[in-house]
Structure 1
Amino acid sequence: MDQFHDIRPYNDSEVTGVLKDLVETPDFINTIIAFRFAKWPRFLHGPLSFLVKTALKRQIGSISNVHEFQMRVANYMERMIKTTTTNVEYRGIEKLDKNVGYLFLSNHRDIAMDPAFVNYGLYLAGLNTVRIAIGDNLLSRPFVSDIMRLNKSFIVKRSVNGIREMMAAFGQLSSYISESLMKEQSNIWIAQKEGRAKDGLDQTDPAIIKMFFMSQKKEKIPFAEAMGNLKIVPVSISYEYDPCAFDKAQELHQKSTTGNYEKSETEDIDSIKNGIVGQKGKVVVTFGDVIKDDFGTPESFVAEVDRQILTNYAIHSTNEAAFALQQGLPSTDSAFSSYLEACPEELKETVLAMYANPLKQQKKYLNTQHGSV
């Protein structure tokens, strides 16, 4: 029996059937039309639906396994990078061994693009692409789940209720991650905490580390050894411009002023779309060092992950400009000043904090390390 059938990515043998079902899914077709033909009148949706389905059938006709699907995704990535970034830089990737399965524990800015940029770097370097952890909160529409699982995503059950159910879900997830890494030498990508760091503050959730340990704890493996077995590599992803910054700021502002924020039904899909098509400027992905079995507690392990993510974070001119403006100094980046002009006035302080916080975090950490106050 496949104990991971409800959370694992699709296998090669399932790809053809899933793709055929997708093309016949009205919600999927209508989403493409809304995305690609947003300004076209509604009375043309019928003919557009036929044309989209015909085009998709032609495109998927040659796809029979996960690798072929990901090669199609790579083509879209190349196009997206050319149109929405000024440069993408990978640091530290030369340290990785293609014969080892790594657990890439990453800071989190963008729902789809964070793992996509990691994946693309691995692909360019001739390494195996990652299995991507995604929360089931993103999968309210079945076609989204299908597309994600075709692209080697596995599901984190965040919506389960009750302690027993939650522990069972964590145990299944921990076992899946350990088996992927240690038995299959597959790479894994997972965010350092649940949800994006909308305020620009990157901090690892100790619960994630404890979840990693669960499956090996059952086998009486000490914590430090268990963590060493997982070959965990902290990853820092930084964007010169965040395409979803104003939307994130709106959410943070509303929470701070009203104490509440209600997501719209399409908000996660819109965030994915905006993250893909929005301008990002320069993107830097930095792979840290494999964490050895030197850390005997979750707390000490978290501290090491945070140390690497914060110190390896690539600071952009936008971070420096936001920091300067917070200090009441002139902006150090005229392009960032122009960017801020498009921001609603009530959100500007929140957006400035979002861009300044990575630099402030890094400065604070480095000062602490050097004994400064």
Structure 2
Amino acid sequence: MGEFDSIRPYQDDEVAAVLTRLTSDRTLLGMLTRFRFPHLAGPLGWLLRPLIAWRLRRECAGIDCVAKLQDKVEPYVDRTIEKATDGVTYSGLEQLPAGKPCLFIANHRDIVMDPAFVNYALYHSKHPTVRIAIGDNLLQKPFVGDLMRLNKSFIVPRSITGRREKLAAFQLLSAYINHSIRNDRESVWIAQAEGRAKDGNDRTDPAILKMFHMSRKDQPFAEVISQLHIIPVSISYEYDPCDQAKARELSIRASSGSYTKAQGEDDASIALGITGYKGRVHLHFGNEMSAPCEDAKQLATALDQVILTHYRLFPVHYLAYAMWDQQDAQIQVPQISELFPADDLRRAEGEWQRRLEHCPAEYRDCLILQYANPVRSHYRVKAGLPL
């Protein structure tokens, strides 16, 4: 057994066997049957599952490596993105270091779509796609783990509780990320913090950056970081399909001090995040972090400055900020009418009003918070103020 077998993505020589296993997985076939035939899956599921399995086997025929699988899946990803957005734009890819594998560190709003949009931009710009860090808490069903690891995902330990076990797991993760970039020459995507920024307050967790260094403690932090070729990525959604659910969680957590997820809540968030309306989406790929940072805290500050500077604010963000009762007296936020054409504003006002009306009154402050926080963060960075 290889050192990284418990967490790494599947390799080309494993793809065919995993696809064969998936096309026979009763849980996956049942889920696909319910998705494809929602009204017939109950009484006729026993008859429809073999049909779905046959279709899957036909679609997977001849796929014997990860690249062929991604080529096969890409049209489906494109159609999903086209149906759920008003367009995806990206900038900065022309500045990626040529021929260098990179460590892409991005703000985190959606479980699946954040790395999917990064890969979408890279794929359509003829850059290699990335290996994706995904928490083991999202892989509770075996077929989900198989699907993610087929798509170049590797596993981040989040469910381990023992201190010694957790330390060993993060040592392994650190070694794997370094090995991917330095030895396999494969780029990696990871979120700037564990879990989504449900309140819209994007901040890099220094603990994530310290983890990169854990497996190479004998070398200076700055030297290790320089060899990972870190690229900050700003991912900006006009609308968050999960904003209502996030507002509910934030409100309950604020009032009670805790929040317990219901069974299947992560699965529902994943599905809604993929299919729900997002409006416009923009990604900015920053320059490689070349200035030496002596520790994780200094690097986190530098990453935040780039990510927040290039976060694209849409009209809805300014509309929310104008309603917010926590406006920042230290920053100058332009009038929304100076920034966007009238037609754009009218559309945004209608959609924002619809979202407010659909949000229960007790959660509404937390909905506003999600869209207002990026405005404060962006303009504080632009003004050179601490976050």
1:96-118 Cα distance to aligned partner (Å, 9 max, x none): 13411100001000000000000
Aligned to 2:236, the other structure's residue is in SS state strand
Structure 1 residue aligned with 2:341: none
1:302-344 Cα distance to aligned partner (Å, 9 max, x none): 1101111111111111111111122699995323223322222
Structure 2 residue aligned with 1:71: 71
Deviation at 1:56, TM superposition (A): 0.9
Structure 1 residue aligned with 2:129: 129
Among 286, 296, 299, the residue aligned to 1:298: 296
Residue pairs, 1:28-67, within 5 angstroms: 28-40=28-40, 42-67=42-67
Aligned to 1:86, the other structure's residue is in SS state coil
Aligned Cα RMSD in Å?
2.0
Aligned to 1:233, the other structure's residue is in SS state strand
Identity percentage of aligned residues: 44
Residue pairs, 1:51-130, within 5 angstroms: 51-130=51-130
In the alignment, is the contact (CA less than 8 A) between 1:224 and 1:295 conserved in 2? yes
* C-alpha distance in structure 1 between counterparts of 2:169 and 2:289, whole Å: 26
* C-alpha distance in structure 2 between counterparts of 1:345 and 1:53, whole Å: 46
Residue pairs, 1:208-287, within 5 angstroms: 208-217=208-217, 220-287=218-285
1:203-261 Cα distance to aligned partner (Å, 9 max, x none): 111110110011222xx221111111110111110100111111111111221223332
In the alignment, is the contact (CA less than 8 A) between 1:224 and 1:293 conserved in 2? no
Letter matched to residue 74 of structure 1: E
* C-alpha distance in structure 2 between counterparts of 1:65 and 1:54, whole Å: 20
Deviation at 1:5, TM superposition (A): 0.2
Gaps of 5+ in 2: 328-334, 338-344
Deviation at 1:142, TM superposition (A): 0.8
TM-score by length of 1: 0.94
* C-alpha distance in structure 2 between counterparts of 1:53 and 1:117, whole Å: 29
Letter matched to residue 224 of structure 1: A
In the alignment, is the contact (CA less than 8 A) between 2:97 and 2:288 conserved in 1? no
Deviation at 1:293, TM superposition (A): 4.8
* C-alpha distance in structure 1 between counterparts of 2:63 and 2:360, whole Å: 45
Structure 1 residue aligned with 2:368: 352
Letter matched to residue 349 of structure 1: D
Deviation at 1:367, TM superposition (A): 2.3
1:64-120 Cα distance to aligned partner (Å, 9 max, x none): 111111112211111012211111011111111341110000100000000000001
Letter matched to residue 373 of structure 2: N
Letter matched to residue 120 of structure 1: Y
Deviation at 1:263, TM superposition (A): 1.5
* C-alpha distance in structure 1 between counterparts of 2:33 and 2:324, whole Å: 42
In the alignment, is the contact (CA less than 8 A) between 2:105 and 2:232 conserved in 1? yes
Q: 1:18 to 1:110 in 2, by over 3 A?
A: same
Deviation at 1:41, TM superposition (A): 5.8
* C-alpha distance in structure 2 between counterparts of 1:31 and 1:260, whole Å: 31
Q: May I ask how many residue pairs the two structures share in their alignment?
A: 369
Which piece of structure 1 moves more, 104-113 or 156-165? 156-165
Residue pairs, 1:15-30, within 5 angstroms: 15-30=15-30
Structure 1 residue aligned with 2:305: 307
Which piece of structure 1 moves more, 347-356 or 100-109? 347-356
In the alignment, is the contact (CA less than 8 A) between 1:206 and 1:302 conserved in 2? yes
Structure 1 residue aligned with 2:353: 337
Which piece of structure 1 moves more, 31-40 or 330-339? 330-339
Letter matched to residue 230 of structure 1: L
* C-alpha distance in structure 2 between counterparts of 1:99 and 1:253, whole Å: 46
Gaps of 5+ in 1: none
In the alignment, is the contact (CA less than 8 A) between 1:111 and 1:275 conserved in 2? yes
* C-alpha distance in structure 2 between counterparts of 1:338 and 1:134, whole Å: 33
Structure 2 residue aligned with 1:140: 140
* C-alpha distance in structure 2 between counterparts of 1:241 and 1:281, whole Å: 6
Deviation at 1:36, TM superposition (A): 3.3
Aligned to 1:281, the other structure's residue is in SS state coil
Structure 2 residue aligned with 1:366: 382
Which piece of structure 1 moves more, 174-183 or 341-350? 341-350
In the alignment, is the contact (CA less than 8 A) between 1:90 and 1:121 conserved in 2? yes
Structure 1 residue aligned with 2:13: 13
* C-alpha distance in structure 2 between counterparts of 1:25 and 1:33, whole Å: 12
* C-alpha distance in structure 2 between counterparts of 1:330 and 1:75, whole Å: 37
TM-score by length of 2: 0.91
* C-alpha distance in structure 2 between counterparts of 1:172 and 1:35, whole Å: 37
1:118-144 Cα distance to aligned partner (Å, 9 max, x none): 001111111110000000000111110
Q: 1:225 to 1:342 in 2, by over 3 A?
A: same
* C-alpha distance in structure 2 between counterparts of 1:190 and 1:136, whole Å: 14
Aligned to 1:7, the other structure's residue is in SS state coil
